[in-house]
Structure 1
Amino acid sequence: MRRVAITGAGTINPLGSNVAETYAAMQAGTCGIGPLDIMDADRLSIQIGGQVKGYDEATHFNRQQVALYDRFTQFTLLAAREAISQSGLGFSGDLADQAGVVLGTSGGGLNTQDENYRAVYEAGKNRVHPFIVPKLMNNAAASHVSMEWNLRGPSFTVATACASSNHAMGQAFNMVRCGMATVMITGGSEAMLCFGGIKAWEGLRVMSKDACRPFCATRNGMVQGEGAGVFVFEDYDHAVARGADILCEVMGFAMTSDASDIVMPSKQGAARAIAGALKDARLSRDSVGYINAHGTGTAANDKTECAAVADVFGAHADQLMISSTKSMHGHLIGGTGAVELLACIMALRERVIAPTIGYEEPDPECALDVVPNVARDADVDVTLSNAFAFGGLNAVLALKRV
């Protein structure tokens, strides 16, 4: 089994248009959630979100590309550019054949769907653009990344709701670890802040109208976000041989299914995934210093996740720091685990723990150190990133400082 390094990271999200801006915003406890700037926002009962503000697609892509790239694909390509540039890799010859893409998304091209449903049902048009299907399909982003950088190895898309990115990165990790690939571009993206995307979530009655306050006694729901996070997972020895700057090492991954309820989370399922990631990584419970929580800000998720952490870590749970950056950037659904992995890398590289902002009042059922409101300097060697999705699908990654 090969070791797996992360040698590149890229992002665009409500906190920043690159990794440096995102780190700075996380360290400052910046809130990227605000009023939505979308068509028909006044018809929504939920009018806030973690939106990528000031984004102009024409700045990054030409007209022909815009006709092919949904917003979620655009975000992915921008994040991939940053990650691959940082890695210093070029893909030709044998390496191109040994490099692939696994990305996560839940909704795929929802903006494209929304726009074209409007055109057909509201405007009464009888024709749509011939490339609508390849623009909205869930694998569009993975395919365009593959084509842009000549990645001819295993490439596909994972769609497991809010765990999509973690599942994708877990598959990429295992592919490099077992020798199926030398390099994998992985992560995820989401762009469902459109009228239909938000209206659908309103029906669940789990959305907040004012803020995302994970673990807080006054929390009242989640807030949607959008964006992408992309990483270069590389065979560790290959990275060392070429003198790459290794951001951290991916140590383990586990996934479980609650097999119980389509929307309600399970403490047992989450705990098995957390414990499984530690077992896979061959790490002790006491070695973990920070967990980036799934932490949606809903009553059910937060107390269930805290109970799962307490079960797995026992007395060490009191020594752990666990925060939810969704309080800052919102819930990116299928892309959320990818952007949140940046907080784990930041903890290892920058030695700064991202806070849970908006925290007002302790909840006895969430009695852990949630790093309230202010970032914290800390020296940690091991971090975990949790993702727990509707459908009872759980995925946890373990990272270690190099």
Structure 2
Amino acid sequence: MTKRRVVVTGLGCIAPVGNTVAESWSNLLAGNSGIDTIKSFDASAFACKFAGEVKGFDITQYISEKEARHMDRFIHLGMAAAMQAVQDSGLKTGDALSPEEATRIGCNIGSGIGGLPMIEETHAELVNRGPRRVSPFFVPASIINMISGHVSIKYGFQGPNIAVVTACTTGLHAIGLSARMIEYGDADVMVAGGAESTVSPLGIGGFAAARALSTRNDDPRTASRPWDKDRDGFVLGEGAGVVVLEEYEHAKARGAKIYAEVSGFGMSADAYHMTAPNVDGPRRSMSMALANAGINADEVQYLNAHGTSTPLGDLNETNAIKNTFGDHAKKLVVNSTKSMTGHLLGGAGGIESVFTVLALHHQKSPPTINIFNQDPECDLDYCANVARDLKIDVAVKNNFGFGGTNGTLVFKRV
């Protein structure tokens, strides 16, 4: 069976650096951080008091206030990003779709954790006011697959309706697996990505207890500093990134604009440790994605890294890149947009895939900000502190997650 080509025809993004794709991209290129002291709750008693929060977001610009009341914030963010992507793609929706067309469009928008704030609030209601005060909307407001569910209902998309849950690799896996569905004929179009909103007492408290978070409370905007010698942990972020994936001939036939082609996808497991990384798993993920794309390592110009700003993770990814790309690793531009957004967990692969596609489309690498004193063991070109014009024909995107789950996408110009 001949594999069908898959292209990106729509982008949507709600991020700490902007509530639209254009605003987010502009702030990234300018090196503007979206990280600041937490405003959504009183974090004064926590070891980490800052995060990458979405600012000025109004869900009623997308859906009614009545609908919004029955959803956790991660669903709000995911729906908004999906609606942006669908609008950007120019797809027909609802009654404009024929019955056959409707069955060929699906949704796969995941989350690493789901409705944690709603769970916290409902538990407090249960404890303080009793079981009769638990909302009948609690479960559908909190569970992860409801972004895909709501998007499919809103637009009448009757194709595959699923959600991936693979920790910090969620958004990337959702995009890669959706591309495979199109390649092998299960759908012609997939709306895919990831969303997360866990900047909450349990979210911050849990990651802080695991000593995963930066505690640079005196200077939050410089706290996320991938590959800097003084990095001390990641910064939690929230938001959503969604892409519209489409079979190439289908996109051409309707005159869609094409941002990039999804040419390769790889997955692997470390089979090593719950939270600590190893080099071989990410190396195999990257190698599998390149092989799947039919691309040699020396054909890649840009790599949007997982790059979380953790002492172990950044060095591990650097070594995995070296093992995958050999001598060509030194010629790559490797970039972490988490330096500005923080780590969106299940949403990371969503927004970062959007940013990777934009880098390819606009031929620019965003900077990795806050590299003040580059770790000598992390010795690649990380596009430190200033954006750069860059000829990009092939771009690679990595994400890795707790449980040793790894994913890599390869995008190329069309």
Using the size of structure 1 for normalisation, the TM-score is 0.98
1:114-153 matches, within 5 Å, as 114-122=120-128, 126-153=132-159
- Cα distance in 1 between the residues matched to 2:62 and 2:48: 30
**CA distance in 1: counterparts of 2:227 and 2:162, whole angstroms:** 35
Counterparts of residues 2-401 of structure 1 (less than 5 Å): 2-91=4-93, 92=97, 93-122=99-128, 126-210=132-216, 211-401=223-413
1:58 CA displacement:
4.2
Q: State the Cα deviation string for residues 46-100 of structure 1 (Å, max 9, x = none).
A: 1110000122334543232122221111111111111111111114221110111
For 2:139 and 2:131, the matched residues in 1 are separated by 17
- Aligned residue in 1 for 2:220: none
Q: Residue by residue, what CA displacement relative to the aligned partner does 1:280-335 show, whole Å, maximum 9, x if unpaired?
A: 00001011000000001001100000000001111101100001100100000000
Residue type of the partner of 1:139? Answer: N
Q: 2:6 touches 2:183 (CA, 8 Å); kept in 1?
A: yes
Are 2:242 and 2:354, in contact at CA under 8 Å, matched by a contact in 1?
A: no
Q: Which amino acid aligns with 2:256?
A: A
Structure 1 gaps, min length 5 = none
Instruction: Give the distance between the partners of 2:212 and 2:27, measured in 1 at CA.
Output: 26
Residues 31 and 329 in structure 1, CA contact (< 8 A), matched pair in contact too: yes
Q: Distance in 2 between matches of 1:213 and 1:90?
A: 42
Q: Is the 8 A contact 1:343 1:353 kept in 2?
A: no
Runs (4+) of structure 1 exceeding 3 A deviation are 56-61, 122-126
Q: How many residues align?
A: 402
Give the CA deviation at 1:345.
1.1
2:301 counterpart SS class: strand
The secondary structure found in structure 2 opposite 1:379 is coil
Report % sequence identity. 41
Greater shift after overlay, 71-80 or 327-336? 71-80
**Displacement of 1:122:** 4.7
C-alpha separation between the residues in 2 aligned to 1:55 and 1:23?
17
CA distance in 2, matches of 1:71, 1:43: 23
Secondary structure, in 3 states, of the residue corresponding to 1:77? helix
- Check whether the contact 2:10–2:86 (CA below 8 A) recurs between aligned residues: yes
TM-fit CA distance, 1:239: 0.4
Distance apart, 1:124 and its partner CA: 5.7
Distance across 2 between alignment mates of 1:27 and 1:77: 25
TM-score using structure 2 length: 0.95
Structure 1 residues 320 and 373 mapped into 2: Cα distance closer, same or farther (>3 Å)? same
Tell me if the contact between 2:279 and 2:319 (Cα under 8 Å) persists in the aligned partners.
Answer: yes
- Give the secondary-structure state (helix, strand or coil) at the position aligned to 1:240: helix
What's the CA shift for 1:131?
A: 0.7
Unaligned runs of 5+ in 2: 217-222
Q: Within 2, Cα distance between the matches of 1:330 and 1:396?
A: 19
* 1:123, distance to aligned residue in structure 2 (A): 5.7
Matched AA of 2:306: H
Give the superposition deviation at 1:261. Answer: 0.6
1:290–1:380: 8 Å Cα contact kept in structure 2?
A: yes
CA deviations over 1:111-133 (Å, ceiling 9, x no partner): 21111122223566741111100
Given that residues 324 and 356 in structure 1 are in contact (C-alpha distance below 8 angstroms), is that contact kept between their aligned partners in structure 2? yes
SS in 2 for 1:231: strand
Residue type of the alignment partner of 2:138: I
User: CA, structure 1 residues 123+369, in 2 after alignment: closer, same or farther (shift >3 Å)?
Assistant: farther
Letter in 1 for 2:214: S
> Would you say the 8 A contact 2:224–2:233 is kept in 1?
yes
CA distance in 2, matches of 1:129, 1:362: 50
Higher mean C-alpha deviation, range 275-284 or range 115-124: 115-124
Q: Conserved in 1, the CA contact under 8 Å of 2:243 and 2:354? A: no
